[in-house]
Structure 1
């Protein structure tokens, strides 16, 4: 990415089920959900939203190999999307195991996201 125009951050949690993809998708949703970029076209080459480049950085506590990258990319509606995974986030006790919620243990997964938009 030649120029970063803005960066948004978010946090996503899967309290039950230990689904790291669910937590990652929620982190991206949290990062972009409350934003509007009405002037973004004016900043992009050829004023084309498809010229936007987006880098999604995810700090994942466990099971990085289980993150469904394609599912995470679906959260970004325009441009070319790259997803980078790194160690981070948190796995901590939810205090209870709920078999009907597909819990394998009592851990909840917390993922942090940074979404960089530019060209």
Structure 2
């Protein structure tokens, strides 16, 4: 990324089901949910959203091999998206395992996201 314009951060949790992708997508959506960038086109090359670059950094506690990167990318409506995955986040007890929610155990997964936007 030549020019970094914005960094948005978020957290996502899968309380039941132990699905790292669900927690990661929620973290990305949390990061971008409360933001608006009305002037972004005016600073992008050729005033085009096609020239926007988005780099997502995900701190995940486990199951990196199960993380669906394409699902994470689909959470972002514009830009050329890259995803970096690193150790981090948290696993902690939800206090209860619910079979009807797909729980394998009582753990919940917490993922932290940083969404960098620029060109």
Matched residue of 1:103: which SS?
coil
Which residue does 2:49 correspond to in 1? 49
Using structure 1 for the length normalisation, give the TM-score.
0.99
CA deviation profile, 1:46-78 (whole Å, cap 9, x unmatched): 000010000000000010111100000001111
1:22-37 to 2 correspondences below 5 Å: 22-37=22-37
Which residue does 2:18 correspond to in 1? 18
Which residue does 1:93 correspond to in 2? 93
Matched residue of 1:26: which SS?
helix
Distance 1:78 1:12 in 2: 20
How many aligned positions are there? 119
Which ranges of 4 or more aligned residues in structure 1 deviate by more than 4 Å? none
> What runs of 5+ residues in structure 2 fail to find an aligned partner?
none
Tell me how large the CA RMSD over aligned residues is.
Answer: 0.4
> What runs of 5+ residues in structure 1 fail to find an aligned partner?
none
CA deviation profile, 1:27-48 (whole Å, cap 9, x unmatched): 0000000111000001100000
Which residue does 2:108 correspond to in 1? 108
